[in-house]
Each structure stands twice: as structure tokens, then as C-alpha cells.
Amino acid sequence: MAKLDESLLADLPPFSRLERGQIRDILSQASSRRYDEGMAIFSEGHDAERFYLLLDGYLRVIRSTEGGEEIIVLHIAPGQLFGIARALQRDTYPATAIAAAESIALSWPMTLWDEFTKTYEGFATESYKTLGRRLGEIQTTLTEMATQAVEKRVACAVLRMMNQSGRRTEDGIEIGFPITRQNISDMTGTTLHTVSRLLSAWEKDGVVASRRKHIIVTNPHELVLLSGAQG
């Protein structure tokens, strides 16, 4: 980790109140690893031995239901901590984290979590803010699955991914990581056939354009209307 400059972390919430020397101390205890697309960083129910910071790429967070189904409940963007089971007073990971694209993450032994939260100002408060936002997003997703019609659920899912990772192109706003129709099915609790039917209809209507593992939102306003959101 000697070659990783502390400026990479200086503007990220858990580290934004720290001096460069403190960030260097934290980095000196980190390990770095690259994960190929589709690779699991950790799995639900396994011992939570490390916590992580995503430097580059995107992650899918997957939870299992009581019925044995796997649901994508969240995506994590660069610059965020994840795998912070100790913050939930857990010894095991509550979900599985999978690289949605080629990703790079730092990690630390979970035994350092308490030391970091006690020693470094802002580390705990900013980490818990992030955790609170994520729990809110998960609750929103689960509520949508329980109460909304399928078309609205799928529109909400695509809209969230667009808002989180979208990058402007000549054709519209492209979701910034590979996404399949099966992934959207797993996010919305519906069938692959239904997702394919909806996306095909939206393509015909000029709302989205899709090619292998990539989705471009060509009419964001119409997508907002389909999601039932205001605006």
C-alpha cells in the first residue's frame, strides 16, 4: 500500500475530517485487491473478517429471502465503505457483495473497526450515515416489491441505477456498470420474461436503448413518469 496516495481518500466521507498523516496510518494497514466482474467479495452468513472501501467499479448487494430466492437490494458506488458488519453488531455478513464490473477495493481486518471509530473523528459518524442511507434504500426496494405494480418496480429500479451511476452519452444517460435483464429481474422480484417484455416495449417507445449488458435511458422524463415518481 506504500504507493497509494492519501489524497485518494481525503475527500471521502469517512476520511474527510482527517489529517493526511492519519489517512496514511489507515492506508498502511490496508490491503488492496482487484475483483473481476461477477466475483464475490464476501458471502451472506460468512464470518465477517474484513471491512472494505470500494475504490473503483460497482458492487451488487444480494440478500436471500426465507423462500431461498436471491434479491439484488442495493448497488454500491466507488468511494463507499462496505462489509461493515461490526457497525450492525454482527459477526457475519448480512448479504453477499458481488462485483458488478471489474472493481478495486481496499480492506482492513474487522478487528480494526472499533479502533478506527474511536480514534478518527468523523469515521464513525459518517460511516453510520452511509449505513442509514443504505438501510433506507433496501427498505424502499422491499416496499416497492411488496406494493407496486411490476412496471413501476422495474422503472424505479432502472431509475435508481441511472441516478447513481449514469453518464451522459450522445444517445442518453448510460448506466455505468454492466446490467442484464436477469439482474433487473432479481432486483424487482419479477420474471425474466416480464422484464424482457417491458424493456422491449420501452425501447420501441424510445424510453431506453439496450445492448448486451448495457442500458441507456434515452427519455429520462418518461422513465420518471413510468416509475410513478413526481417530476
Taking only the tens of pLDDT, the chain with its 231 residues reads: 446 778 878 888 888 888 889 999 999 999 999 999 999 999 999 999 999 999 999 999 999 887 778 889 889 999 889 999 998 899 999 999 999 999 999 999 999 999 999 998 778 888 888 888 888 888 888 788 778 899 999 999 999 999 988 999 999 999 999 999 999 999 998 999 999 999 999 999 999 998 888 999 999 999 999 998 654
Q: So what's the pLDDT on residue 123? A: 83
How far apart CA 172 and CA 180 sit, in angstroms, is 18
Assign domain 149-227 one CATH number from 1.10.3720.10, 3.30.465.10, 1.10.10.10, 2.40.50.140.
1.10.10.10
Dihedral-angle region of residue 89 (phi above 0 means left; psi in -120 to 50 means alpha; beta otherwise) = left
Q: So what's the pLDDT on residue 16? A: 86
136, 152, 230, 135: which is closest to 189 by C-alpha? Answer: 152
Homologous superfamily of 7-145 in CATH? Jelly Rolls (2.60.120.10)
171-184 burial, b if ≥16 CB within 10 A, otherwise e?
Answer: ebbbbbbbbebebb
Q: So what's the pLDDT on residue 137? A: 82
Tell the residue number behind the cell numbers 477495493, with chain if given. Answer: 105
Please list the residue range(s) of the chain that carry CATH number 2.60.120.10.
Answer: 7-145
Q: So what's the pLDDT on residue 3? A: 61
Q: So what's the pLDDT on residue 2? A: 45
Please list the residue range(s) of the chain that carry CATH number 1.10.10.10.
Answer: 149-227
How far apart CA 67 and CA 49 sit, in angstroms, is 27
Q: So what's the pLDDT on residue 231? A: 44
